[in-house]
Amino acid sequence: MQLSTACAVRPATEQESINKLMGLAVFGEKVAAKIYLLMSELKEEYAPILTKFAQMEAQHGAWFMEASRKNDIEPDKEFADNELGYLIYQVDNHFKARSFESLAVVQGFIVESLAIATYESFLSVAHKYPGTHEVFKKALEEENYHVDWILRYLRLRFFDAEEDFRVLAERVNIQGIDCMGGTMMNIADYLDKVGLSGADCAGAMMDGYTQLLEKVGFEQKKATKHVVNMFMPLFHKYRRGEKTK
Ligand SMILES: [Fe+2]
Ligand SMILES: [Fe+2]
């Protein structure tokens, strides 16, 4: 007897997958721009550089939109809104609490890290979509430049106060990693369809995250321990089939 497949979820096509991934890139850039603008409102002394960063993020979104148009890719806004909603909710709460430091941690450690990990991977398949390699490479360089600024800020702000930073990063990032990890799980099949690996992207993000902690002043062993402590509950949750959002 043949089992009915009527209820089975149809796997996404390559076109649907790239639409969803590009949706996350385009609308994720809008979130990045929003965070820098909120940060600029909280610390006037940094407003010139932070509004410049916000403009750069908006420009990345515009580049990706234009490259999509040329390749008949339609960035999936509904999918992206759904994935990014939880992150935006957290960002709004950090802003309401007027916590510049929390926004800096979310932006530097979560948003920029995710962009860097996925854009780096995307470069290996960008040749399939003419015009995308150039803009993702340029965006990647600029994300590294933004991270550099955030790291310098955090290093000075928490100079000789590593424990305070650890407490802050843990509080802010546990939520952030929870939602980004959820997105990573949700996009794994789409990454696969366009020739990328979700495991590679998640690994790159963990690796990048550890390096960021080291640059802020953590010893390598402590940084690794911190990252494992944060990522492991998420892995456990997913291995047991629970969803975080
Ligand atoms: Fe960007
Ligand atoms: Fe950036």
Angle at 210 between CA 141 and CA 28, to 5 degrees: 45
Helices (H), the chain: 14-42, 47-70, 77-96, 100-105, 112-122, 132-157, 162-193, 198-216, 220-239
Distance CA 223, CA 77 (A): 35
**CA of 118 relative to ligand 1 center, distance in Å:** 12
pTM score: 0.89
| Stretch 155-184: mean pLDDT | 83
**CA of 167 relative to ligand 2 center, distance in Å:** 24
**CA of 206 relative to ligand 1 center, distance in Å:** 19
**CA of 216 relative to ligand 1 center, distance in Å:** 21
| Stretch 68-85: mean pLDDT | 95
Please report which ligand is nearest the Cα atom of 108.
Answer: 2
- Residue 204: per-residue pLDDT: 84
**CA of 146 relative to ligand 2 center, distance in Å:** 5
**CA of 14 relative to ligand 1 center, distance in Å:** 24
Distance CA 135, CA 164 (A): 38
Going by C-alpha positions, the residue among 138, 133, 30 that lies closest to residue 77 is: 30
State both tokens at 46: 């940094």
Mean pLDDT of the chain: 88
**CA of 69 relative to ligand 2 center, distance in Å:** 22
**CA of 241 relative to ligand 1 center, distance in Å:** 32
> 1 falls in which pLDDT band (50, 70, 90)?
very low
> 2 falls in which pLDDT band (50, 70, 90)?
very low
Q: Which residue has the tokens 């940084």?
A: 223
Half-sphere CA count of 224, side-chain side, radius 13 A: 3
**CA of 112 relative to ligand 2 center, distance in Å:** 5
**CA of 166 relative to ligand 1 center, distance in Å:** 26
State both tokens at 133: 């390699």
Going by C-alpha positions, the residue among 172, 198, 182 that lies closest to residue 83 is: 182
Please report which ligand is nearest the Cα atom of 63.
Answer: 1
| Stretch 51-72: mean pLDDT | 98
| Stretch 82-102: mean pLDDT | 95
State both tokens at 137: 């490479």
Distance CA 181, CA 183 (A): 5
Question: Tens digit of pLDDT for each residue in 12-31?
Answer: 899 999 999 999 999 999 99
**CA of 135 relative to ligand 1 center, distance in Å:** 10
- Residue 67: per-residue pLDDT: 97
**CA of 12 relative to ligand 1 center, distance in Å:** 26
User: What fold, for 14-239?
Assistant: Ferritin (1.20.1260)
- Residue 65: per-residue pLDDT: 98
> 206 falls in which pLDDT band (50, 70, 90)?
confident
Question: Tens digit of pLDDT for each residue in 127-168?
Answer: 999 999 999 999 999 999 999 999 999 999 999 898 899 889
Q: What residue segments make up the domains of the chain, in order of their start? A: 14-239
Contact 52, 131 (CB under 8 A): no
- Running DSSP on this structure, what letter comes out for residue 44? G
CB-neighbour burial class of residue 45 (10 A; exposed 0-12, middle 13-18, buried 19+): exposed
